[in-house]
């Protein structure tokens, strides 16, 4: 398939391109578009055939449910059974990087929800995403625009790397501001369960809802969803093709460990600018400074892709603390590393 690649910075100035992209979605085609979290691979969320195309383009198992992207929080009414907690969260965090899971209404095809009785809804804040959903006049089903198992694309360059030839159009809207996929919270009855940590943190959710539980998966523990790639490799997701190893220890121990490893093996290192200065030499991929979690989040997936391209036998990165935005980073890194963590 020939993929058209277009650039849109300001949707108001590119109204005709947005209309054309929306037309592709309405006609059952696929459009990759930027959001504030990561690039999405969008299709008509009310059309089972479009959902099938999304799964095929990603090479993703079709029991993995898709998120429906809506233009405004009240748009959920047509597709899900909303409740007071939904509107409290919507008031606080929508539009933005939060996905809410509710009981679905029959209009949502089973193919979109992977047969589940629930549906995931998100209202993105990115102006291009918002304009596209509004112009389409439908909910847009959109998983991350990567081939299944690879790091999510956080710039058009990476979306093109994975999706060129697999979709009708890719909209280049620059780099994603957050760089990690949305926080996912499931609401049922009185309960709220954090399924995936993201830029809307656990603490922020607790400011709005009285009680939020954290699932084992959100804490980075292994679940049946983590796909075994090869025997011995256990489970990988968001993963580069070279093995990734997380190091847990002090700044000094980290520098010493890497120096020693570099003398015996060809390794790539994802590190902060300060650490890069201390280490010097080649095969260093920069993330944010220690404690600057927003920058670390923004750069995480591109760092994994860039580290992979260096073709080293192994990639090292530091294990982030599992709280605040660090929990979202930890959750992605520990999966990318197949849970290989070394205490140094």
Name residues whose C-beta falls within 8 Å of residue 264's C-beta, 6 or more positions apart in sequence.
Answer: none
Among the listed residues 11, 42, 45, 65, the single contact to ligand AMP using CB under 6 A:
65
Based on the shown chain and the rule CB under 6 A, indicate whether residue 119 belongs to the binding site for ligand AMP.
Answer: yes
Strand, coil or helix: 16: helix
Residue 120 or residue 300: which is nearer to ligand AMP going by CB?
A: 120
Out of ligand AMP, Mg ion, none, what residue 120 binds, judged by CB under 5 to 8 A for its kind, is ligand AMP
Q: Write the interaction track for ligand AMP spanning residues 213-252; mark x where CB under 6 A is met and - where it is not.
A: ----------------------------------------
Q: Residue 125 gets which letter from DSSP? A: -
Closest to ligand AMP by CB, 153 vs 320, is 153
Residue with token string 């998983």: 143
Among positions 306-335, residues that touch ligand AMP (CB under 6 A) are none
Query: Cα 280 from chain centroid?
Result: 31
Q: Residue 214 in 3-state DSSP?
A: strand
Distance of CA 90 to the CA centre of its chain: 20
Cβ distance 171 to 21 under 8 Å?
A: yes
Say how far apart CA 311 and CA 154 lie, in whole Å: 21
- Window contacting Mg ion (CB under 5 A); options: 116-124, 139-147, 201-209, 308-316: 139-147
For the CB of residue 122, give the shortest distance to ligand AMP in the complex, in Å. 9
- Please, what's the b/e burial string for 244-269 (b: 16 or more CB within 10 A of its CB; e: otherwise)? bbbbeeeeeebbeebeebbeeeebbb
Among 35, 46, 144, 302, binds ligand AMP (CB under 6 A): 144
DSSP one-letter string for 220-241: T---TTSPB-STTT-B-SS--S
* 44 near Mg ion, rule: CB under 5 A: no
Among 118, 266, 283, 295, binds ligand AMP (CB under 6 A): 118
| Residue from 57, 67, 71, 159 binding ligand AMP (CB under 6 A) | 67
Separation in Å, CA 61 to CA 56, 64, 245, 281:
8, 6, 27, 41
* 287 forms part of the interface with Mg ion (CB under 5 A): no
Please identify, among the stretches 118-126, 144-152, 284-292, 298-306, the one whose residues bind Mg ion according to the rule CB under 5 A. 144-152
Question: Does 90 participate in binding ligand AMP (rule CB under 6 A)?
Answer: no
- What's the sign of the alpha-carbon dihedral 19, 161, 336, 307? negative
- Using the contact rule CB under 6 A, the part of the chain among 47-55, 117-125, 239-247, 248-256 near ligand AMP is 117-125
Does 144 sit near Mg ion (CB under 5 A)?
yes
CA-CA distance, 296 to 199, in Å (whole number)? 12
CB of 70 to ligand AMP, least distance (A): 14
| 57 neighbors 166 (Cβ within 8 angstroms) | yes
Q: Which does 100 bind (CB under 5 to 8 A by kind): ligand AMP, Mg ion, none?
A: none
Toward ligand AMP, which CB reaches closer, 138 or 269? 138
Q: Does 184 bind ligand AMP (CB under 6 A)?
A: yes
Q: How many CB atoms lie within 10 A of CB 58?
A: 24
Enter the tokens of residue 331.
């959750």
Least distance (Å) between residue 64 CB and ligand AMP? 5
Helix (H, G, I), strand (E, B) or coil at 38: coil
Ranges within 163-182 binding ligand AMP (CB under 6 A): 181
Choose the binding region for ligand AMP from 8-16, 59-67, 155-163, 300-308 (rule: CB under 6 A).
Answer: 59-67
Q: Please confirm whether the linkage preceding 95 is cis (ω < 30° from 0).
A: yes
Which residues are at the interface with Mg ion (CB under 5 A)? Answer: 144
User: Residues in the site for ligand AMP, rule: CB under 6 A?
Assistant: 64-65, 67, 101, 113, 116, 118-120, 143-144, 181, 184, 195
């Amino acid at each position: 398939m020939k993929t058209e690649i277009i650039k849109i910075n300001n949707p108001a100035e590119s109204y005709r391109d947005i209309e054309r992209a929306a037309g592709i979605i309405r006609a059952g085609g696929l459009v990759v578009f930027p959001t504030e979290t990561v690039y999405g691979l969008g299709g008509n969320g009310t059309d089972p055939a479009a959902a099938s195309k999304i799964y095929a383009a990603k090479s993703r198992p079709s029991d993995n449910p898709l998120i429906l992207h809506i233009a405004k929080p009240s748009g959920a009414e047509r597709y899900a059974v909303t409740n007071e907690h939904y509107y409290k969260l919507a008031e606080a965090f929508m539009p933005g990087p939060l996905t809410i899971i509710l009981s679905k209404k029959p209009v949502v095809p089973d193919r979109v929800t992977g047969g589940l009785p629930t549906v995931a809804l998100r209202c993105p804040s990115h102006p291009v995403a918002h304009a596209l959903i509004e112009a389409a006049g439908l909910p847009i089903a959109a998983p991350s625009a990567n081939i299944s198992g690879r790091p999510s694309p956080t710039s058009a360059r990476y979306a093109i790397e994975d999706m060129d030839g697999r979709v009708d159009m890719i909209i280049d809207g620059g780099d994603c501001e957050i760089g990690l996929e949305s926080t996912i919270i499931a609401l049922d009855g009185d309960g709220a369960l954090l399924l995936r940590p993201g830029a809307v943190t656990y603490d922020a959710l607790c400011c709005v809802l009285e009680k939020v539980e954290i699932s084992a998966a959100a804490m980075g523990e292994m679940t049946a969803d983590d796909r075994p790639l090869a025997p011995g490799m256990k489970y990988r997701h968001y993963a580069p093709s070279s093995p990734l190893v997380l190091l847990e220890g002090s700044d000094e121990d980290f520098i010493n460990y890497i120096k020693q490893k570099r003398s015996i093996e060809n390794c790539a290192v994802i590190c902060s600018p300060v650490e890069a200065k201390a280490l010097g030499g080649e095969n260093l991929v920069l993330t944010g400074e220690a404690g600057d979690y927003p920058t670390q989040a923004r750069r995480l997936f591109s760092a994994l892709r860039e580290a992979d391209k260096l073709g080293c036998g192994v990639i090292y990165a530091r294990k982030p603390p599992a709280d605040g935005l660090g929990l979202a980073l930890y959750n992605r890194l520990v999966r990318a590393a197949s849970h290989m963590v070394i205490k140094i």
